[in-house]
Amino acid sequence: MTRQQPTILVIDDESHILHVVSLKLVNAGYRVITAEDGEEGLRAALQYLPNMIITDFQMPYRTGLELCRELKTREQTRSIPCVLLTARGFSLSPELLADTNITAVMSKPFSLREILTRVRQLTQTPPDQEAVDAA
C-alpha cells in the first residue's frame, strides 16, 4: 500500500450510499475498501490500516460510534481519523466523541463535494478538480 494513494475505508449498511461514496472517492484517486456493518468495518480497519474511515452511525452488530471507540483503544488504529455519518437532526455530544477518533460528524443526506473536501483535508492530499466538479 502506497501513501501516494491514500486508502479510505467506507462503512455503511445502505448499499447505495456505499456505492456512491466509493465511486466518487475512486474517481478522485483514492483506494477504497468497503464494509457493510460495524464488525466487518473493524476487521477491515485492522487488516488494511486505512488513512481514513467514513462510517455510518446506525449499523448492525456495532454502531459507528462503538467502532470508533474500539479503534481509539488499539495502538495501530488510534490515530486514524474518522468521519461519522448520521441521520439529519441527530447530534452527538462532545462527551460522547471525546473517547473516539471522530474528527467530523456529517448529516445525511450529505454533499459528496463536502465528503471529498473532508477526505482531502484529513489525508492531506491535493484535490482532483474533475472529481470535485463532478460532485
Return the pLDDT at 128: 55
- pLDDT of 77 > 60? The answer is yes
What would the pLDDT profile of 89-127 be if each residue is shown by its tens digit? 666 777 777 788 888 888 888 889 999 999 999 888 765
Return the pLDDT at 75: 94
Mean pLDDT, rounded, for 42-64 = 94
What is the DSSP secondary-structure string of the chain? Answer: --TTS-EEEEE-S-HHHHHHHHHHHHHTT-EEEEESSHHHHHHHHHHH--SEEEEESS-SSS-HHHHHHHHHHSTTTTT--EEEEEETT----HHHHTTS-EEEEEEES--HHHHHHHHHHHHT----HHHHHH-
Return the pLDDT at 107: 87
Q: Which pTM was predicted? A: 0.86
Domain boundaries, the chain: 7-124
Which CATH superfamily, name and number, covers 7-124?
A: Response regulator (3.40.50.2300)
